[in-house]
Structure 1
Amino acid sequence: MPLIVEEADPGAPGAAALLRMSHELMESLFPPEENHFLDIEALRAPHMRFFAARQGADVVGTIALAIRDGWGEVKSMFVADLARGTGAADALLRQVEDRAREEGLEVLRLETGDALRAARTFYARHGFREREPFGEYTANASSIFMEKSLET
């Protein structure tokens, strides 16, 4: 069954279920003050672009792009266990990178957790490098900040 990545409503049942799973995981791993996930309403804001990956009727992954002043932030990246290793994460990130370029953004940034080793490895494989905190983030015990230039 082909994987399809498309712009979506974060409140749609499949996407919302994955977002809840992601939030529960983050809450189990990190203290509340070090969790930076966005709720569904925040993901619907005008400066947000939200995407879902699906196989057939099943939503298997989510990702969002927050449009900032000259740069974009990757948010809400999550892939269901059953879709890990299938290329869903690669397709989601590629969609965000393509949209960021369409929006004229030069850099993508993200915050992830130190306990999320697979995520950090994934982002590094896609050209993200560690950096200092950015935007409204401050350094804390569990956040890792990363950045990738989109210039070609």
Structure 2
Amino acid sequence: MNKFQPILLECPNQPEVLALIEALDAYQIPLYPQGTHHGINLDALCAPNVLFAVGRTEGAEAIVCGALALNPGYGELKRMFTKPAFRGQGLARVLLTFLEAEAQKRGCSHFMLETGYRQLEAIAFYERCGYSRRSRFGEYEADPNSVFLEKLLD
């Protein structure tokens, strides 16, 4: 079994982390019509209100990443991705729990996200982690390709 370093907040502007984000885009973008991909760009990921976390192997290879944008009243999960070779080991749950805990330290306990309807594994993962479906939020427009989820912690 692989050994991993603790999840840490990091700057996303690192070549190996950018490769994770590019792999996520390469997977997601072809699944949906043009203009319906809602990933945020690198500048937004580097904003002061965004918590960006990375998980690495014991050898420091970046293998999982995710972001949580702290907005007034809620945090929005973005850019969650695990390298395929490392899936099924609980890393996404560790990352999600880490981001939620970091947000709670900053006074945020309401989490939301948008994902695509074709990403059944992601939807099932979030539902297993206590997220439930909701209506659109924030600046999202009505889109049949989108699924919106939320979780409220005490």
Is the CA contact (8 Å cut-off) linking 2:55 and 2:63 kept in structure 1? yes
| Identical-residue share of aligned pairs (%) | 35
Q: Which residue of 2 aligns with 1:81?
A: 84
The ranges of structure 1 where at least 4 consecutive aligned residues each deviate by more than 6 angstroms after the TM superposition are none
Q: Which residue of 1 aligns with 2:44?
A: 42
Is the CA contact (8 Å cut-off) linking 1:27 and 1:35 kept in structure 2? yes
Q: Does 1:125 align with 2:133?
A: no
SS state at 2:112 partner: strand
Alignment of 1:90-101 (within 5 A): 90-101=93-104
Q: Does 1:59 align with 2:70?
A: no
Residue 32 of structure 1: CA displacement? Answer: 2.5
Deviation digits for residues 23-75 of structure 1 (CA, Å, limit 9, x no counterpart): 11111111232100011111001111100111122111110010011210000
**Match for 2:14 among 12, 15, 35?**
12
Q: Which residue of 1 aligns with 2:115?
A: 112
**Match for 2:149 among 143, 146, 150?**
146
Q: Distance in 2 between matches of 1:123 and 1:99?
A: 18
Residue 3 of structure 1: CA displacement? Answer: 3.9
Is the CA contact (8 Å cut-off) linking 1:70 and 1:104 kept in structure 2? no
Across the aligned residues of Structure 1 and Structure 2, the Cα RMSD in angstroms comes to 0.9
Residue 106 of structure 1: CA displacement? Answer: 2.5
SS state at 1:33 partner: coil
Q: Distance in 2 between matches of 1:59 and 1:10?
A: 11
Q: Which residue of 1 aligns with 2:106?
A: 103
Q: Distance in 1 between matches of 2:64 and 2:39?
A: 15
Q: Distance in 1 between matches of 2:69 and 2:126?
A: 17
Aligned residue identity for 1:31: P
Which TM-score applies when normalising by structure 1? 0.96
Q: How many residues align?
A: 151
SS state at 2:67 partner: strand
Residue 137 of structure 1: CA displacement? Answer: 0.5
Which TM-score applies when normalising by structure 2? 0.94
SS state at 1:21 partner: helix
